[in-house]
Every structure is written in structure tokens, then in C-alpha cells.
Structure 1
Amino acid sequence: MNDNEALQQSRTRVIEAISQNMYLYGVSPSIGRLYCLLFFSDKPLTLDEMKEELGMSKASMSLAVRTLLDLQMVEKTWKKGVRKDLYVVNDDSYQRFFDYFTTKWRSALTMNTSAIKKTLSELQQLLANPDTSEDVRKHAQTDIEKLERWVEYYGWLGKLIDSFETKEILDFIPIEEKKE
């Protein structure tokens, strides 16, 4: 195997691993391959260059790039004399994780907390109704106790998310600088 083949084989290993785990970001492996193409590219690429390299349709490529832009994993860049949009990988992996983590988890936290609070209110109404049977009261009270523990958990999770947004998490788990 020559040096170029060895380089390509090592890149392919990373590309396959990353693309298979892109579901963590809610995207398909093909979008992961696009991300890795940009990551390993030594220059910004146009949609046409990416389409040609990956063999994707223009519509699929456009959607994939838009998805990566929304996730802040890639960004548009400019180069004098080039009329087409150029794209590069957003190189700040830590910030990208913070942004993604906080956006996704804050959304889930809000949705779950809202559902739990509404349910707690309805269960309290059941308990307050004198016509509610003893069996339903017993189950409602048990549900309230369980859901109140979830409210405590979501309070903690909210603080964790806040620590990512403010970067206070770095006080506990600092980013280690590369030693030269």
C-alpha cells in the first residue's frame, strides 16, 4: 500500500465512524460523510464540488448543507473571485457541542416540564374533587410523588444546561490545551 492509499484508508475509517454516529445530532450518515468531506478538505468547497465528490443529488446536497449550517457544524466562507457559496467546517468543536447540547436539551426539558406541570395540576384537581374514588386518589397521589421527583431532576438538568451556556462547566472539566 502506498502512502496516499494509507492516508485515504485512515480517513475512511474516521469518516465511517463519524458518519455512523451522526444520529446523535439527529442526522443521517450521508450528512456525516459530507461533514467529514469538509473536515478533511484543505480548502473551502462549493455545493457542486461536494455533490461531485459524494455523488449526491443537488437537492440532497443542498438539504445536507443547510442541516449542517443549522447545527452550526459548517459555515459559509468567502473567497475573492469566487461567486458560488463556499463552505468550511466550523472548527470550534467545543462551542459546537455546547450549542447543540443546550439547544436540544433545553427544548426537551421545556417540553417535559410543561407536560409534567400540567399533569400535576390535573392530578391535584382529581384529589380536590370529593367525588374521586379512593382507588383513583391512591394512584393520583403516587403519580404526584413520582412526577415531583422528575421536577427535581429537571431542575438539576436545567442547572447543567445553564452551566454549558455560561461555560461554568469548564471550571469543573477544563479544556486541555494542546502541549507543543
Structure 2
Amino acid sequence: MQQAHKEDWTKYEETIEQFIQVIAKNMNLYGVTPSIGRLYGVLYFSEDPMTLDDMREALEMSKTSMSTGVRALSDMKMVEPSFKKGIRKDLYKSEEDWYKSFTSLFGSRWRHHTETNIEEADEAIQELLELKEETADDNLKEKINHDIERLEYAQNYYRWLMKFIHVVESGEIFQYVPKVEQQKKK
């Protein structure tokens, strides 16, 4: 390979690696470790599906770490199994549609936490109502009433948030905030 071409390829690899590092660093927004973020970045820029051995070699990590990472990414719908005739090992490729990955991941994570918060608010209200019935302290009763109003406000917010989560999960969000379509480069 000519020296100029070799330098071009080196610059290309450095640029891609730099972007993969950014992906890895920002994956904590999705509750993902940087190493799993790097795995996603490598899969995303790979021309072909990869085996766990391919990933281990590319990232110099253990096969167990790769397996755990692929499972986590698969659960988040960011990686999917792939098949190639004549290859017996499991192959994986990244989900190319980041919008789909985001809506799936956002929905599942936020739904879980929001449902938990609704349940906790329900339990707190029930416990406060029971305490209000049992106590003779008028100041405490007043404080309980005030805090139940706060908890009911929180519940209303969480119910609104569940509607928003549905809008994201269903894809309706794209009616309000359209996807940016990819322009083909020459």
C-alpha cells in the first residue's frame, strides 16, 4: 500500500475510533457502561456481522464480557442476531435504526421507573390516610392533608408521563418531532 493511502486509512481509523469513544462515553445516558458502548460502536461500524470472537479480538476483552455486553445490547434492541450461510457461530449486528433503538429503550426504562413511582405514591397515600385516621394530632393531620395533595400532584405528573411514554413507544412522537432523513452522499 502506498504511504499516502496508508496515512489516509490511519486517519480514517482514528476518526472512527474517536466517534466510538464518544458513543461509549455517552452510553451512560442509557444505563450502559462505556465498554458496552464501545462494543456497540464497533458493531455499528462493522461492515459485516461479528461473532463473539471477532468482538473479543477487536476490543481486546474477554469472551464473557462480550457475551454479557451483547445480551445487554440485545435487551435494549440495539443489537440483533444475524445469520450467514456456512457460519455456525452466533453472529450479531447493530440495529441501524437509532430512532427505533431510542424509542424502545426510552420506553422500557422510563415505563418501569414511572410505574414504580406511581405504586410508591399510592402506598404512601394509603399509609398517610391510615395514620391520619389513627392520630389525634391536628397539626399532623393538616400536614398529612398537605402532603397527600403533593403526592396526588406527583401521581398526575406520572400519569401524564405514562401518556408521553406511550407516544414515544408507539412512534406517534415522530408526528410531532419528525425523524431527520438521511441524505445520500456521493
Q: Which runs of 5+ in 2 are unaligned?
A: none
RMSD: 1.4
Question: How big is the shift at 1:108?
Answer: 0.5
Show the counterpart of 2:84.
79
Show the counterpart of 1:163.
167
Counterpart check, 1:68 vs 2:61: no
Which whole-Å deviations, capped at 9, do the CAs of 1:49-68 have from their partners, x for residues lacking one? 11111111111111111111
2:49 is paired with a residue whose SS is coil
Structure 1 segments, 4+ long, off by >6 Å, are none
The amino acid across from 2:133 in the alignment is A
Counterpart check, 1:5 vs 2:10: yes
Which whole-Å deviations, capped at 9, do the CAs of 1:114-146 have from their partners, x for residues lacking one? 0101111221222233x3312321221121111
1:127 is paired with a residue whose SS is helix
The count of residues paired between Structure 1 and Structure 2 equals 179
1:87 is paired with a residue whose SS is strand
How is 1:30-41 mapped onto 2 (pairs within 5 angstroms)?
Answer: 30-41=35-46
2:93 is paired with a residue whose SS is strand
Separation of aligned partners in 2, 1:69 and 1:178: 25
How is 1:1-180 mapped onto 2 (pairs within 5 angstroms)?
Answer: 2-129=7-134, 131-180=135-184
The amino acid across from 2:45 in the alignment is F
Separation of aligned partners in 1, 2:37 and 2:87: 26
Q: Which runs of 5+ in 1 are unaligned?
A: none
Separation of aligned partners in 1, 2:136 and 2:172: 48
